[in-house]
């Protein structure tokens, strides 16, 4: 099984997906713009060959270079789990006649307006939205949608360059911030809780599913520096509250034509119990979500994804043993971390249920939380009881403090 894997070491969790491919017997041809000498040791070990390109996001140049590099060789799969590269991977498949997601299907996941139009055409509830390219487009969309509204890049990822608008003044301010964005989506703001629907699929059928709940919504957390964002994966997916979102998620994947691999969907549960589509990506969730899902069932989804991608099989247990929660911390002040407060007491209280503690330490530079969800580190807990998991996460959010100066 000869696999071309785009960007095998960036972002950082791609290292684990590279490992997974190696463990299921793939011969991996890595392609990236990280210098070969800078690749992590484990990646160099797992790759059969590596092509360094000047800029991995230059689709035409990469396609030409990789085609020249592999001339005369048969390729069985072209894979990536980094969202900016899903269209490039599809272009390479079509160019070489390799099975997998088509360019049209990939664009349905990358272009947020096309995505919503296709999901709506399947009879599913989506936010009212309009594609905007100019100032006039934005204000015309606001006139139709009303306030509050959301503006986000058409081909964005996560909550980057995403803003809530409550007034024309907000809209004017946001226009100044997103001048580098060629196209954006202006859409209805949906009141309610925000959740994910994560899935691993084979031949159009989900073989693994996950639902995670955010405390608070990611956009609110991104706009308020003092918040310690919490996200918790549910152990019990059979509960009535989550059923509308799971049904919606499965229907969205059918509407967009996902056949194999990971997907990560955001959805809203309104106060009336209605599930409303947010957006979806044909890749795994970031910010350590795959690790949370692994902790929930003591499995290895990095390897299982690779098994699905290469051989069309899923072998891990789908039984979840735990609710798993992560709390991301942000230091107060600027400069370098000076001290950490409250960690010792929290560990003494929650220690048996803590599976990761990766907070920044004194002497390390404080990170920009707007550029990284991980910010100044995180803690992860797991417990069979939902309320106890929530309690431990809220305790970490409120009692652990990092200071910088």
Whole-model pTM: value is 0.92
pLDDT band per the 50, 70, 90 thresholds, residue 159: low
DSSP state letters, 201-228: EETTEEEEEE-EEEES-HHHHHH-TT--
Residue 320, classed as helix, strand or coil, is coil
Which fold, 192-320?
D-amino Acid Aminotransferase; Chain A, domain 1 (3.30.470)
Domain 128-188 has CATH 3.30.360.10: no
| The pLDDT of residue 344 is above 70 | yes
Closest CA to 93 of 84, 85, 102: 102
pLDDT band per the 50, 70, 90 thresholds, residue 43: very high
Q: Taking residues 84-91, what's their average pLDDT?
A: 98
Instruction: List, for residues 274-329, the tens digit of each pLDDT value.
Output: 999 999 999 999 989 999 999 999 999 999 999 999 999 999 999 999 999 999 99
| The pLDDT of residue 97 is above 90 | yes
Alpha helix stretches (DSSP H) within 183-288: 218-223, 243-256
pLDDT band per the 50, 70, 90 thresholds, residue 388: very high
| The pLDDT of residue 154 is above 90 | no
pLDDT band per the 50, 70, 90 thresholds, residue 157: low
Q: Taking residues 75-102, what's their average pLDDT?
A: 97
List of residues 6+ apart from 403 with CB closer than 8 A? 331, 332, 333, 337, 338, 339, 340, 341
pLDDT band per the 50, 70, 90 thresholds, residue 162: confident
Query: What are the boundaries of each domain within the chain?
Result: 2-100, 128-188, 192-320, 322-405
CATH architecture of the domain formed by 2-100: 3-Layer(aba) Sandwich (3.40)
């Amino acid at each position: 099984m000869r696999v071309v894997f785009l960007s095998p070491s960036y972002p950082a969790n791609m290292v684990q997906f590279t490992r997974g491919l190696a463990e299921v017997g793939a011969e991996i041809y890595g392609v990236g713009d990280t210098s070969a000498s800078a690749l992590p040791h484990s990646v160099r070990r797992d790759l059969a060959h590596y092509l360094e390109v000047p800029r991995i996001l230059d689709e035409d140049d990469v396609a030409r270079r990789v085609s020249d590099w592999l001339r005369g060789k048969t390729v069985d799969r072209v894979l990536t789990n980094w969202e900016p590269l899903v269209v490039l991977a599809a272009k390479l498949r079509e160019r070489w006649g390799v099975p997998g997601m088509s360019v049209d299907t990939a664009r349905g996941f990358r272009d947020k307006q096309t995505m919503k139009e296709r999901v709506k055409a399947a009879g599913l509830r989506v936010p009212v939205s309009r594609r905007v390219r100019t100032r006039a487009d934005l204000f015309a969309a606001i006139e139709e949608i009303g306030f509050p509204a959301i503006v986000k890049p058409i081909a964005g990822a996560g909550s980057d360059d995403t803003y809530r608008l409550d007034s024309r003044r907000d809209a004017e301010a946001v226009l100044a911030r997103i001048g580098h964005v060629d196209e954006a989506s202006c859409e209805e703001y949906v009141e309610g809780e925000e959740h994910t629907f994560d899935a691993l699929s084979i031949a159009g059928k989900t073989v693994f599913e996950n639902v995670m709940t955010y405390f608070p919504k990611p956009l609110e957390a991104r706009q308020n520096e003092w918040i310690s964002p919490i996200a918790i994966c549910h152990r019990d997916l059979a509960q009535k509250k989550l059923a509308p979102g799971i049904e919606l998620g499965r229907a969205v994947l059918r509407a967009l034509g996902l056949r194999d691999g990971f997907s990560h969907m955001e959805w809203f549960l309104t106060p009336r119990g209605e599930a409303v589509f947010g957006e979806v990506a044909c890749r795994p969730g970031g910010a350590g979500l795959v690790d949370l899902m692994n902790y929930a069932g003591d499995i290895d989804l990095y390897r299982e994804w690779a098994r699905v991608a290469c051989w069309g099989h899923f072998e891990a247990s789908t039984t979840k043993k735990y609710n798993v929660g992560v709390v991301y911390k942000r230091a107060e002040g600027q400069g370098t971390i000076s001290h950490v407060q409250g960690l010792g007491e929290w560990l003494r209280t929650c220690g048996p249920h803590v599976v990761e503690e990766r907070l920044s330490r004194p002497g390390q530079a404080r990170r920009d939380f707007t550029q990284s969800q991980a910010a100044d580190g995180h803690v992860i807990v797991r417990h069979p009881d939902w309320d106890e998991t929530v309690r431990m996460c809220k305790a970490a959010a409120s009692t652990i403090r990092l200071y910088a100066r």
